[in-house]
Amino acid sequence: ISEIIELSNGWNWQYSYDKSTWINFDPTLQSKRKISFSINQLTNYQNKNFIHFRAGYLTQFTNLVTYDIVPTTPKLVSSPNSINPNCSYDKGSVDFVFEGQLKPTEYIQMTLYRNVNENMGTTNIYNNQYTWSELPAGNYNYKYQIFTTTGGNFIEGNFTITSPGTFSYKITQKEDVLCNGGSTGTISITATGGTPPYFYLLDPTDPNEFKNKILFKDPGGPSCTIKNLNAGNHIIKVIDSNNCKE
């Protein structure tokens, strides 16, 4: 509706949405052999699918031409809002907000690509906000256009979903209990990746185990030594600041 239309070989100009009621163009566009304008400069074009133009001289009109009215694909209000995952094994999402409101007869069709050529699917969007979820880390390109009875112009762009580094830990040293019945055992662990600072859980039994997590002795550091362990099997879970577990 915002694209420029050029008509020629006329003198007086009219338009209509039903070929029955004809409306004169603005006086500034009359008495000209050639005119240029856009549909959104005309009256009552909203919710119309077709528009007809005719040219003539005074009251004698011929040269009828018909155009489809294709809505302009709305731009985004701002760049897509990428929501990165907290953990390396989680997935991210992205929020799109489009300018204006879609009419009941309109929808936006969007296709998403990851790392250039991996097609992540196509979806139809029926309002001016949409969240695309379950996105693994990567660089994304999107392409969308508005549809009514026909498609509008395409709009393209890109965004990135970033995942924190893979979170893991390893046991670097272990010392057994010195005496039967004692609790002098120790174990040293080092964490990598994820998002520091790191915490650990020793033999967790509480379903809400995160509330009992213990900060590494070296705050923000990657290593910790757990002391005063008795003999037997122990379970150790290491957690980063986003509660990603390993």
Q: pLDDT digits over 33-43, tens only? A: 999 998 888 88
pLDDT more than 70, % of the chain = 96
CA distances from 214 to 70, 194, 203, 218, 237 (A): 61, 17, 12, 11, 10
Mean pLDDT for the stretch of residues 141-147: 92
State residue 126's pLDDT score. 93
Mean pLDDT for the stretch of residues 115-130: 93
pLDDT for 180 beyond 60: yes
Mean pLDDT of the chain: 87
pLDDT for 146 beyond 70: yes
Q: Where are the beta strands (DSSP E) in the chain?
A: 4-8, 12-16, 23-24, 34-38, 50-57, 60-68, 81-83, 92-97, 107-114, 118-125, 129-135, 138-147, 151-161, 168-175, 185-192, 199-202, 214-215, 223-229, 236-239
Q: Which residues contact 158 (CB under 8 A, 6 or more apart)?
A: 139, 140, 141, 142
Place of tokens 């893979």: 166
pTM of the predicted model as reported, rounded to 2 decimal places: 0.64
Q: Do residues 56 and 62 lie in contact, with contact meaning Cβ atoms separated by under 8 Å?
A: yes
Give the amino acid at 93. S
Mean pLDDT for the stretch of residues 79-104: 91
State residue 144's pLDDT score. 93
Tens-place pLDDT, residues 7-59:
888 889 999 988 889 999 999 998 999 999 988 888 888 777 788 999 988 88
Strands 60-68 and 23-24: unpaired
pLDDT for 67 beyond 90: no
Exposure b/e, 117-140, CB count within 10 A at least 16 = b = eeebeeeebeebebebeebebbeb
pLDDT for 82 beyond 90: yes
Mean pLDDT for the stretch of residues 129-148: 93
pLDDT for 142 beyond 80: yes
Say whether 18 sits in a helix, a strand or coil: coil
- The residue among 68 and 196 whose pLDDT is bigger is 196
State residue 150's pLDDT score. 59
pLDDT confidence of 1, banded at 50, 70, 90? Answer: low
Which range has the top average pLDDT, 114-118, 164-168, 215-219? 114-118
pLDDT for 246 beyond 80: no
CA distances from 166 to 105, 192, 242 (A): 46, 8, 13
State residue 45's pLDDT score. 82
pLDDT confidence of 218, banded at 50, 70, 90? Answer: low
Q: Which residues are paired to 192 by β-bridges?
A: 168
State residue 23's pLDDT score. 92
Q: Distance between CA 156 and CA 141 in Å, rounded? A: 7
Mean pLDDT for the stretch of residues 155-180: 86
